[in-house]
Amino acid sequence: MSTSLSHAKSHAEFQRAAQFIPGGVNSPARAFGAVGGQPVIMARGEGPYLYDIDDNRYLDYIGSWGPHILGHRPEFVTSAIQAALETGTSFGAPTALETEMAELVCELVPSVEKVRMVNSGTEATMSAIRVARGFTGRDVIVKFAGCYHGHVDALLVQAGSGALTHGTPSSPGVPAGCTSDTLVLEYNDIEALTAAFQNEGDKIAGVILEPVVGNMGCVLPEPGFLETARELCTKYGSVLIFDEVMTGFRVALGGAQERFGVTPDMTTLGKIIGGGLPVGAYGGREDIMQAVSPTGPVYQAGTLSGNPLAMASGLAMLRELKANPPYERLETLSTKLVDGLHQAAEDAGIPHVLAQCGSMFTLFFNTEKVTSYAVSAQNDTDRFAKYFMGMLDHGIYLPCSQFEANFVSNAHTDDHIESTISGARDVFASLA
């Protein structure tokens, strides 16, 4: 690992992890595969900071890949979890906490009239596309290159040979049959989406998309894209699914659907909704959600769905966000950081583009505005790897891939932003 911080304990611990866990990680996103070297082993988080087992302190811009919008270990979340522990961990029976969570999600998220709790974003999207197919009696699902919706077989897919040819699996272990009804289009390509509906709209069960993409780096919807998806799904009776696992409660209290004023038929949620514990959710129009077992024939279940500890944690988080919305401060703080990074990169003569929505952003080493995966694929990933390692050396912990979003938390301060910009200025000088 090319940094000057001592990572001796991390290195030893990672060797041990790799003996028992594939790649030493429980999720490949953490593996430093895209930046080289080995992951840093973390010991604890506090506010805007992470501390590794070598006692290095980092300013954290991942926030567990999204959940920690208010920083690590906010007192109201930890005390809610501790209180829930007094009554038990899991009952496998309904609890009032689950009703409170469902009621609050229905209040906060415009599209959600009924909601089902699950344990991850993947479970949420997997369930949502099954419900869309069951509700419409159709099979085709439209998704967009560069949007990641979890490791769902039907969505681990690469575009077919022709623009309107259905997809093929993007991972071994996914049978062709799982993706033969998935159509992959370019994000922001209104013409291609319109043509797909003209071509087979009566077969399209649903369209799933990230309303603001985090998984090809941060990419915003171009004017008219979300609105067109909404119009076409309405016209052809298809289910519009906003995957707001990342944007939900992040870019606005009501998510991207509130921020952009486009209401989908279903929404998937994760990350922030659990306050750091494993929670996913899918919900939407009452008539669609009535199709879900036991009220309807579409089966979905989960031993730990609506787990009391996770509900206590998520409820504490959502109640705090509702009572004291951090969004204005987050917008100002994040804009200050993005503007500072832009100026620092400009001054160093580094080609780059920045994209930001609220407190999520990406600095792309690219010469073009990134509007789709085809453009994002042109990123200078070697330069990104050097930037990542240089920032790590300055005690700044960024997502370890150019194709991810950074997250500012409300625990970050102006001083943290200033020191991040100054660290970036040093690193850019070494990249020029």
* Catalytic (active site) residue 51: no
The neighbour count for residue 393, using CB atoms within 10 Å, is: 18
With CA atoms as reference, report the closest residue to 181 among 204, 162, 208, 151: 204
Looking at 49, 58, 143, 271, which residue is catalytic? Answer: 271
Cβ atoms of 403 and 39 closer than 8 Å? no
Residue in this structure with the two tokens 């969570």, named with its chain if needed: 101
Burial class (CB in 10 A: 0-12, 13-18, 19+), 297: exposed
CB of 36 to ligand KE4, least distance (A): 18
Residue 158 CB, shortest distance to ligand KE4, in Å, is 18
Using DSSP bridges, classify how beta strands 157-158 and 204-209 pair: parallel, antiparallel or unpaired: unpaired
Of the pair 28, 297, the CB lying nearest ligand KE4 is at 28
Buried b (16+ CB within 10 A) or exposed e, 298-331: bebeeebbbbbbbbbbbbbbbebbeeeebbeebb
Minimum Å distance from CB 122 to ligand KE4?
3
* Least Cβ distance, residue 324 to ligand KE4 (angstroms): 25
Which residue lies nearest ligand KE4, judged by its C-beta?
121
Instruction: Name the H helices within 109-214.
Output: 121-136, 176-179, 190-200
How far apart are alpha carbons 254 and 258 in whole angstroms?
5
Catalytic one of 189, 243, 380, 393: 243
- Both tokens of residue 177? 């049959």
- In the complex, minimum distance from the CB of residue 305 to ligand KE4, in angstroms, rounded to a whole number: 13
Residue type, 56: N
Task: Say if CB 127 and CB 118 are below 8 A apart.
Answer: yes
Rule CB under 6 A: which residues touch ligand KE4? 27, 29, 65, 120-122, 125, 148-150, 210, 214-215, 243, 245-246, 270, 280, 404
Shortest CB 429 distance to ligand KE4, Å: 30
Nearer to ligand KE4, 243 or 258 (CB): 243
* Among 86, 28, 79, residue whose Cα is nearest residue 403: 28
Which residues lie closer than 8 Å to 121 by C-beta, 6 or more apart?
Answer: 149, 150, 243, 245, 268, 269, 270, 271, 280
Tell me the C-alpha distance between 325 and 232, whole Å: 33
Selection from 393, 389, 415 nearest residue 401 by Cα: 389
Query: C-beta of 275: minimal distance to ligand KE4 in Å?
Result: 14
User: Measured from the CB of residue 16, what is the shortest distance to ligand KE4 in angstroms?
Assistant: 21
- What are the DSSP E strand ranges found in 228-343? 239-243, 266-269, 280-284
Instruction: Choose, from 49, 58, 148, 282, the residue flagged as catalytic.
Output: 148
Q: Residue 31 half-sphere exposure, CB side, CA atoms within 13 Å?
A: 13
- Residue 148 is among the residues annotated as catalytic for this protein: yes
- Alpha carbons 5 and 143: distance in angstroms, whole number: 42
Q: Which is nearer to ligand KE4, 98 or 243 (CB)?
A: 243
Which is closer to ligand KE4, CB of 128 or CB of 159? Answer: 128
For residues 401 and 409, what is the distance between their CA atoms, to the nearest angstrom? Answer: 19
Nearer to ligand KE4, 264 or 270 (CB): 270
Query: Which residue has tokens 């298809």?
Result: 238
Query: What are the residue numbers of the active site?
Result: 148, 243, 271
